[in-house]
A and B are shown apart, each in its own frame.
Chain A
Amino acid sequence: MIIVDKLCYSSRLRYMNAGEKFAFAIITLLICVVSRSILCAAVILAATAILTVKIGGIPLSRYRTLMAVPLTFILLSTLAIIVNFSHTPLDAFAIPLGSIYVTGSWHGIYRAFQLIITAMAAVSCLYFLSLNTPMTDILEVLRRLRCPLLFIELMMLIYRFLFVLLEIASSITTSQRSRLGNKDLKTAYHSFSNMVSVLFVRAIKKSNALFDAMESRCYDGRIRVLNETFPPKAKEIIAIVCFEVFLLICIIGGKLLL
């Protein structure tokens, strides 16, 4: 989570118009999920990987690790689709287990593969967005899309204070460790619970101090801020449109071939 945040600020695509990146990610994701086309998903996986790693400059090893996380989850959950328990063996494989079979069909394997690749393609779209766009830019796009202001203000403050509170938590933990606060499991649990309660108190104090500081800058219950936006480029928009059209052609082509 924190790594994603660090990476997005160094991405070479960071200063690309956030609306374009958002539109690309969401439209591609929708096409992928709705069509469930394997060909289309493969194209998306390749495209987002190239965009994020090659053009955005996110290290390949990081990208692989990040993709491996959802992949593990998806593989585990698709096992249920592949593996069946049945009295009659299915066509792909069948392992007899007493009176029943642990078995699977080719159709099931195909469905599982389709699910894995489309899910991963959808995840890669979201990774493309979050690895190349800082949170504040995404919030600005949401604001333009008329997302309720309350949500945006909450997200903005939560995002900021996530880091403030994490820093406090880590410094408390460090000082506990330097006093042998984790010498055995029991002490470690105890230290952790102390840290959480101190963190809670600090969070309340911080929120009061923040409110005072905002009041002193004439806060009236609405957070008004200016955003630096980077103008959209015609070339990029055309490229996005072409890509989406290409995806649609892939889907139709794939349907016709089958």
Chain B
Amino acid sequence: MSIIRAENLHFTYEDGTEALRGIDLSVEAGQKIALLGANGSGKSTFFLCLNGINQPKEGTLYLHDKPYDYSKKGLLELRSKVGIVFQDPDNQLFSASVFQEISFGVLNIGVDEKEAERRVEEAINELEITPFRHKPTHFLSGGQKKQVSVADILVMDPEVIVLDEPAAALDPKHTIILNHLIEKLSARGITIIISTHDVDHAFAWADEVILFHKGKVLRRGTPEEVFSAAEDLEKTNLAKPAALRLFDNLVANGVLDADEPIPRNLDTLEMYIRERRK
């Protein structure tokens, strides 16, 4: 059963920009999904639709096979189940205090203060915020702000967390920390949808990859399927992941066998080559 399903989703901004032109897709519970596509292909708009901030002009979204309910009560329920971590933490963090900031969402969904406090502490712990929890948000680094903005959503105990380009503007070290934290969330059974431009990470991490192009789904499938579709990658200005490109070359040159499972990262590929040499 799908947790989220979109049927023929259309969305047009007030200035007439058609951001989404018929999105069809479904997401299974617990999946790790990477959404790729050029800037302006509609990823962020789609995310805002998932959370009920943007109401589609045409088409329907389903949560647990029930169409989205845009009444006040329906939205409250929807937003407590589907959370968005925004791209720029400075657009999301509204309080100077980390503790206040994280407690906002959980109080809004009507959890009592005692339970909310417990959950805030838990999120601080889980997302490794303790070392800077007493710092004001304006003195945090980009990576730390990102950790707080993920905690903002985690406290609401959502079923789906949507992250809009989580690694944008992060240095490699903080990207690794963040990826490790996202992995933790996924291990808890939370469905994760991220948008990214990092093909290597998407290839290694995702269960399913979705290519967006001009407000439509160009292709979706396993990472191996999607990243082998050279034509579609070219259309969306994406390069083949390094591991896949090298693997294809090595197969073409007879170094490796084509019937081996496609390596999802360079480490696996390295292992193949090492074994081959033995």
Contact = CB atoms under 8 A, between A and B. Distances in A.
Interface string B17-49: 000000000000000000000000000000010
Contact of B117 (A157, A163, A210, A226): A226
Contacts of B152: 217
Most buried by B among A135, A136, A213, A214: A213
B108 interface: yes
B68 interface: no
Contacts of A209: 86, 88, 91
A7 B116 CA distance: 30
A131 B52 CA distance: 43
Contacts of B153: 217
Contacts of B75: 218
Contacts of A136: 95-97, 100, 136
Interface stretch (B76-84, B211-219, B258-266): B76-84
B107 A156 contact: no
Contact of B116 (A156, A220, A223, A226): A226
A216 B51 contact: yes
A195 B227 CA distance: 44
Contact of A210 (B53, B94, B97, B105): B94
B120 interface: yes
A216 B84 contact: yes
A124 B152 CA distance: 38
A212 interface: yes
Interface string A193-218: 00000000000001001101111111
A135 B96 contact: yes
Interface string B87-115: 01011111111011101110111000100
Nearest to A225: B100
Interface string B187-209: 00000000000000000000000
B99 A226 contact: yes
A95 B206 CA distance: 88
Interface string B106-148: 0111000100110010000000000000111111000000000
B96 A156 contact: yes
B107 A226 contact: yes
A209 B107 CA distance: 21
A224 interface: yes
A171 to B, nearest CB: 12
A236 B35 CA distance: 56
Nearest to A207: B91
B244 interface: no
A225 B84 contact: no
Contacts of B61: none
A228 interface: yes
Given A216-B51, A217-B156, A206 B83 contact: no
A85 interface: no
B53 A215 contact: yes
A212 B94 CA distance: 12
Interface of A: 5-6, 9, 134-136, 156-157, 159-160, 163-164, 167, 206, 209-210, 212-220, 223-228
Given A209-B91, A224-B104, 8 more contacts: A9-B136, A164-B90, A212-B53, A219-B104, A223-B104, A224-B103, A224-B107, A227-B99
Interface of B: 48, 51-53, 75-76, 79-80, 83-84, 86, 88, 90-97, 99-101, 103-105, 107-109, 113, 116-117, 120, 134-139, 152-153, 156
13 contacts: A5-B136, A134-B96, A136-B96, A160-B138, A214-B94, A216-B86, A217-B79, A217-B104, A218-B76, A218-B109, A225-B100, A225-B103, A227-B99
